[in-house]
Amino acid sequence: MRVVTPTFRHGARMLLTLTASMIVLLLQLHGQSAGVHPEAIRYDEAARIFRIDAADVSYVIGINQNQQLQTLYWGKRLRPGDTLSPAHADGGSSGFDLSVSATPQEFTGWGGGLVVVPNLKITFPDGNRDLVLHYLSHTIRNNTLTISLKDIGRDVVVDLLYQVDEATGVLARSARVENRTQQPFTIEQVLAATWNLDASRDYQLRYLTGRWAGEWNLQQTQLRPGKIVLESRRGSTGVEVNPWFAIERSKQADQDVGDVWFGALGWSGSWQMNLETDWQNRVRITGGYSPFDFAYILSPGKSLETPKFYGGYTNQGIGGASRLLHRFELDSIVPQAPHRRLRPVLYNSWEATGFDVNEAGQEALAEKAASIGVERFVMDDGWFGERKDDHAGLGDWYINPQKFPHGLRPMIDKVHALGMDFGLWVEPEMVNPNSDLYRKHPEWVLNFTGRPRTEGRNQLVLNLAREDVRAYVYGFLDKLLSENDIAFLKWDYNRNWSEPGWPDAPLQEQKEVYVKYVQNLYSILIELRKKHPNVEIESCSGGGARVDLGIMHLTDEIWPSDNTDPFDRLSIQNGFSYAYAPGVMMAWVTDSPNWMNNRSTSLEYRFLSSMQGSLGIGANLNKWTQEDFATAKRLVAEYKDARATIQDGSLYRLISPDGDSAASVTEFVARDGHEAVVFAFLHSSQKGQPYPRLYLHGLQPDAVYTIHAREGKLEDDTVQRASGDYWMHHGVSISLRGDFQAAFLTLERDSSQ
Ligand code: DGJ
């Protein structure tokens, strides 16, 4: 990457001989103020350079002498007068290192000697597999730049889309491959974009790994020449690795300082990201559909669009990267964005009753939940078909007549009378072999003819790519929502794919299941939301096994993990927050000792752990004492007071629970700076060490804030009112001692400020 600093010298010389209208034009080109609002996307015809400027980010692309599209710069926003040298392909360094791979291209076809991961690999019907993409044309409309590339010989056109979010500088990139030839061809691999980073030996990669009930572990590794592949071959997003990465350029990692580039995929099927570091320590990141077992036949006149690969940059460290992503998700991705509703406090029956749900039992729980201020009552698994445990019933979406002899109506009416709305659990994409649906339609599941059908949690995956299955799933959900006053669906998905066959489809189209399944899932969600606009949906996959920006675009909240141990949750929620907004993260207060680790904790500790996201209660309220109810009522009310700041504000990790830290502290600052909310946790005191002093972040330096300890105690000598600077630089000491202790503070800005 070559960044050349101001060549405005040329401009100054030229100005002397320019007419007034030409001056205006020049000012526009250079984005000078003088009342001229610079466009986010501009094209410099002479230099053949596209420049995208948004928020604090500049992204610059050039067309080089070989007609390739080349990354010139991605990073901190450049000055309007800064110009960059035109693109020049890298010459390569030897016969083993050709220019085509050495040049940081924006999107590559596999051909012309390319040895790095290609974005697009095609086999043509005559056996030709060579694809060389050159610049064809472009358009700039509003916030979208579309650059078309075309193969040097065949009528294969690829439109590269760059959508800019002006508030955060996050770019959404995708590619649309179009077959303008006369014959079908097979796409064997198509990755949405290539993100190129300039050479550095200091790149640290972060990514998130997990397993059931142990999701969201933050991994960190130094990038060195070679390739790192992050992927899911599971048919869905998966729990093993999440489709998010962040790369820091720093030797000394600091939460809130330093250059960070980050990216996330909007796709809920099998996916892949490749991080290739070359011998010069330059990095290329490609991502999109997993190429594993992939084949998509593109007929003449048809096109295939990739998922979106979002990318962003900040110089405010990994903490700043999370804040930008959170803001982007809340304001641009979630369905109601930018006017999303704050998440209500909900109750969920799962840990209290398991599959053993019935009208009287649920109503009794609903009464108790309402008494502490719960706003939404959700009945989980067990209400339908012959569902007594996880061996039967999935697929038979009728209300179980023994458990609910009068249907759901009386219970829903009761929930409404108690002042709450009603939510219901569903797992629409699955079927138990022990179900009427499977007995009637055994061909509806993913399978290979004559081969065993591997069960996971005693269930099989319905092949949603089939139009009859899609119609069935949409039909029962629409009926359920039309016949019952349901405000919320918890949409679960409890296994990976196995035997991903689609025997009834034409042979050459069978592998399209990877794309069409997810497209149909999305289309069902879109259609349901359109017909039932007030219904909200939670994405759950046995916990956090389907969390990505694709599903987030169609669902209102996320269940990050089945692990509800409040101490484990500190690191689970912390990991989640690197990529996803706490405002959409559901967190339940459950029983103690918790089933996961048999750990006992106070109700206050459990509440404070869960209050760092979207608060829910999942405990068996039938076992609670009067004192528990009083504590819960107080904490639910406190949560509601602080909820807007927690769910919508900026998150600062004052002390991260990574690396077995005994302390962990989060701070949420309201967008307008009027309030900060702090949650502090202590695992165990050791050797009389005091709790670390907290230095707040993100306050207005000269505004005055009053501190309140809502739960827990401040050290005796703490002042009550002081400036933002004081709280950020002098800090505050809280008195936390013992095991599994927690505190909850708020800082209110003086109303005059
Ligand atoms: C897995 C979910 O993550 C749980 O919360 C619960 O809904 C069960 N499924 C129900 O089967």
Q: What's the gap in Å between 136 CA and the centre of ligand 1? A: 50
Torsion of CA 290, 295, 299, 301, to 10 degrees: 10
Per the domain annotation, does 138 fall within a domain? yes
d(CA 198, CA 229): 20
| pLDDT at position 250 | 82
Q: Kindly report the CA angle at 646 between 587 and 247, in degrees rounded to 5?
A: 85
pLDDT exceeds cutoff 90 at 13: no
Per the domain annotation, does 436 fall within a domain? no
Q: What's the gap in Å between 634 CA and the centre of ligand 1? A: 28
For atom 6 of ligand 1, which residue has the closest CA? 350
In tens, the pLDDT along 170-181 reads 999 999 999 999
Q: Are strands 536-539 and 488-491 parallel, antiparallel or unpaired?
A: parallel
Which of 333, 355, 371 is at the close of a domain?
333
pLDDT band at 3 (very low <50, low <70, confident <90, very high): very low
d(CA 6, CA 119): 34
Check: CB of residue 316 under 8 Å from CB of residue 257. Answer: yes
Contacts of 334 (CB under 8 A, 6+ apart): 340, 552, 553, 555, 556, 584
In tens, the pLDDT along 703-720 reads 999 999 999 999 999 999
| Residue with tokens 């969201």, as numbered in its chain | 216
Closest atom, ligand 1, to C-alpha of 425: 7
- What range defines the domain where residue 724 resides? 654-749
pLDDT band at 658 (very low <50, low <70, confident <90, very high): confident
CA-to-CA dists, residue 237 to 99, 208, 265, angstroms: 35, 12, 10
Q: What's the gap in Å between 380 CA and the centre of ligand 1? A: 7
Pocket test of ligand 1: the residue of 389, 425, 546, 596 to mutate, having most ligand atoms within 8 Å of its CB, is 425
pLDDT exceeds cutoff 80 at 30: no
For atom 10 of ligand 1, which residue has the closest CA? 381
| pLDDT at position 251 | 67
Q: What's the gap in Å between 681 CA and the centre of ligand 1? A: 27
Pocket test of ligand 1: the residue of 562, 564, 595 to mutate, having most ligand atoms within 8 Å of its CB, is 562
For atom 3 of ligand 1, which residue has the closest CA? 542
Pocket test of ligand 1: the residue of 356, 380, 563 to mutate, having most ligand atoms within 8 Å of its CB, is 380
CA-to-CA dists, residue 514 to 76, 552, 699, angstroms: 37, 19, 47
Q: What's the gap in Å between 492 CA and the centre of ligand 1? A: 7
pLDDT band at 474 (very low <50, low <70, confident <90, very high): very high
In tens, the pLDDT along 141-163 reads 989 999 999 999 999 999 999 99
In tens, the pLDDT along 529-584 reads 999 999 999 999 999 999 999 999 999 999 999 999 999 999 999 999 999 999 99
H or E element, residue 22: helix 20-29
In tens, the pLDDT along 290-319 reads 999 999 999 999 999 999 999 999 999 999
In tens, the pLDDT along 596-635 reads 999 999 999 999 999 999 999 999 999 999 999 999 999 9
Residue 740's CATH number? 2.60.40.1180
Closest atom, ligand 1, to C-alpha of 541: 3
For the whole model, what pTM was predicted? Answer: 0.94
Q: What is the mean pLDDT of residues 510-523?
A: 98
Q: What's the gap in Å between 542 CA and the centre of ligand 1? A: 5
Which amino acid is residue 619, in one-letter code?
Answer: A
Contacts 24+ apart (CB under 8 A), 728-733: 728/695, 728/696, 728/697, 728/699, 728/701, 729/695, 731/693, 731/694, 731/695, 731/696, 732/693, 732/694, 732/696, 732/707, 733/690, 733/691, 733/693, 733/694
9: phi then psi, degrees, rounded to nearest 5: -50, -45
SS3 for 744? strand
| pLDDT at position 254 | 84
Q: What's the gap in Å between 351 CA and the centre of ligand 1? A: 9
| pLDDT at position 659 | 76
CA nearest to 324, candidates 137, 76, 523? 76
Contacts of 165 (CB under 8 A, 6+ apart): 54, 55, 143, 171, 172, 328, 332
Closest atom, ligand 1, to C-alpha of 543: 3
d(CA 38, CA 30): 8
Per the domain annotation, does 8 fall within a domain? no
b or e along 468-486 (b: 16 or more beta carbons within 10 Å of the residue's beta carbon)? ebbebbbebbeebbeeeeb
Helix (H), strand (E), coil (C) string for 67-97: CCEEEEEEEECCCCCCCCCCCCCCCCCECCE
Q: What is the mean pLDDT of residues 20-24?
A: 36
d(CA 601, CA 565): 9
d(CA 465, CA 514): 8
pLDDT exceeds cutoff 60 at 257: yes
Percent of the residues in the chain that have a pLDDT greater than 90, as a whole number:
93
pLDDT exceeds cutoff 60 at 25: no
Q: Where are the alpha helices (DSSP H) in 441-532?
A: 467-483, 513-531
pLDDT exceeds cutoff 60 at 419: yes
Q: What's the gap in Å between 427 CA and the centre of ligand 1? A: 9
Q: What's the gap in Å between 657 CA and the centre of ligand 1? A: 26
Closest atom, ligand 1, to C-alpha of 562: 3
For atom 11 of ligand 1, which residue has the closest CA? 381
For atom 4 of ligand 1, which residue has the closest CA? 542
Pocket test of ligand 1: the residue of 381, 387, 458, 617 to mutate, having most ligand atoms within 8 Å of its CB, is 381
For atom 9 of ligand 1, which residue has the closest CA? 542
pLDDT exceeds cutoff 90 at 686: yes
CA nearest to 261, candidates 239, 238, 282, 288? 282
For atom 5 of ligand 1, which residue has the closest CA? 562
| pLDDT at position 16 | 32
In tens, the pLDDT along 479-490 reads 999 999 999 999
Per the domain annotation, does 602 fall within a domain? no
H or E element, residue 151: strand 144-151
SS3 content of the chain, % helix, strand, coil (to 5): 25, 35, 45
Per the domain annotation, does 232 fall within a domain? yes
Pocket test of ligand 1: the residue of 492, 547, 563, 569 to mutate, having most ligand atoms within 8 Å of its CB, is 492
pLDDT exceeds cutoff 90 at 26: no
Which of 283, 315, 333 is at the close of a domain?
333
* Domains in the chain, number: 2
Q: What's the gap in Å between 543 CA and the centre of ligand 1? A: 7
Residue 159's CATH number? 2.70.98.60
Name which residue leads in pLDDT, 254 or 671.
Answer: 671
| pLDDT at position 448 | 98
| Residue with tokens 């075309």, as numbered in its chain | 150
Which of 333, 362, 377 is at the close of a domain?
333
Positions marked catalytic = 492, 562
pLDDT band at 379 (very low <50, low <70, confident <90, very high): very high
Average pLDDT along the chain: 94
User: DSSP letters of 607-625?
Assistant: HHHHTTSEEEE-S-GGG--
d(CA 271, CA 283): 20
| pLDDT at position 219 | 97
| pLDDT at position 38 | 59
pLDDT exceeds cutoff 90 at 21: no
Structure tokens at 653: 């990790």
| pLDDT at position 33 | 35
Per the domain annotation, does 131 fall within a domain? yes
d(CA 626, CA 725): 43
Per the domain annotation, does 517 fall within a domain? no
6: phi then psi, degrees, rounded to nearest 5: -25, 120
d(CA 156, CA 149): 8
Per the domain annotation, does 46 fall within a domain? yes
For atom 2 of ligand 1, which residue has the closest CA? 542
Q: Which residues line ligand 1 (CB under 6 A)?
A: 350, 380-381, 425, 492, 494, 540, 542-543, 559, 562
